[in-house]
Amino acid sequence: MPVISLATSDYGINEQPGFDIEWKKIIRVVLAGILFGDALSRMHFATIVREKTQGVTEILTESYLANAVELARQNNSDGILQLLKKAVTDYNQLAIPHCDKPQIGIVGEIYLKYNTYANMNIGDWLISQGIEPIFPDLLDFFIQEFVNMKTNHQKNIAKSSWGTQLYVGFLENKFERYTKKVEKIASKFHYYRPKNSIYVESENASKILDLANQFGEGWLIPAEVIGFAEQGIHNVVSLQPFGCIANHIVAKGVEKKIKALHPKTNLLFLDYDGGTSEVNIFNRMHFFVQNAKNEYQERIESTSSKSECKADTHES
């Protein structure tokens, strides 16, 4: 059974004949699709916990995903950007305005973090508790390679030719310009959260550990935690497969240093394996959620700010 794997590096993982991705033809639509998905995810989670009518956000998201898939099949990257403009308008109409909510950041191993089956629908569970789950952008996992290549070259870990460096620089410039174009569209969303560049993320991570730590999620996990802290999101859950070296060593190993820089940060590490029960996961999450709500309430009271949310139809 041939296994096809998409990767940013060539380690002989697609050795079977007959499979060769023509990246030059599809790179624009691939980038547009990932950026669209990231922006849609941010709008979805910000809206669903504040929606005026329960259930409409999920329907809208499924509709936009289906439309984006069809445009991707047509290799229509410009159409995907136009679709995002329309999505911003629609999500703005669904969300209750001026509605503050407690937030919890989600970091961890890439599959477990984004796959709802693997993480036991932790995002939906947080929403049911009146919490807005904040997931990092998927794109960062792939474009961290720009930072890694420069780091490895500077530290003499790997050598790259001038031609390769120029080509990577060209791609990087394209990515940055396209990302700014998408973020300009996404910024019209009422609950928009600005996106850090991968170099700001890597600079944050370098305060915690050496950027040569590139195994698995590598330096990306501490970068994401610090990024959350700088946005005022101090409660962060790290999802990790049981025994995952990258997560256990990096995520747990940097906790002390992160808290030294950001004392308000509260981290919860959840291990998943085939025998993990939902009771075990969500019992621990109940305490974590309550802590997040208490901190949120204290912040609201200390700043004398008012939230104009209507009665919460989600919280149980």
Does 132 map to a domain? Answer: yes
- Write out the DSSP string of 173-191: HHHHHHHHHHHHHHTTSTT
Query: What separation in angstroms does the CA of 283 have from each of 78, 181, 277, 279?
Result: 45, 42, 10, 6
- What pLDDT is recorded for position 231? 92
List the single range of 13-17, 89-93, 117-121, 256-260 with lowest mean pLDDT: 13-17
Asked whether 103 and 131 are in contact (CB, 8 A), the reply is yes
Q: What is the pLDDT of residues 85-141, one digit of tens each?
A: 999 999 999 999 999 999 999 999 999 999 999 999 999 999 999 999 999 999 999
Domain assignment present for 10 = no
Let me know if residue 266 belongs to a domain: yes
How many domains are there within the chain? 1
Per-residue pLDDT for 271 more than 50? Answer: yes
4, pLDDT greater than 80: no
pLDDT value for 316: 39
86-113 burial, b for 16+ CB within 10 Å, e for fewer?
A: ebbebbeebbbeebbbbbbbbbbbeebb
**Does residue 315 lie in a domain region?**
no
Q: What is the CATH number of the domain that holds 297?
A: 3.40.50
- Asked if residue 39 belongs to a domain, the reply is no
Name the token pair of 224.
């994401």
pLDDT at 153: 87
Per the domain annotation, does 156 fall within a domain?
no
CA 111 – CA 241 distance, rounded (Å): 9
Alpha-carbon distance of 206 to 226, in angstroms, equals 11
- Inside any domain, residue 268: yes
Structure confidence by residue, pLDDT tens digits, 165-178:
777 788 888 888 88
Structural domain for 227, as ranges: 101-137+195-303
In a domain, 203, yes or no: yes
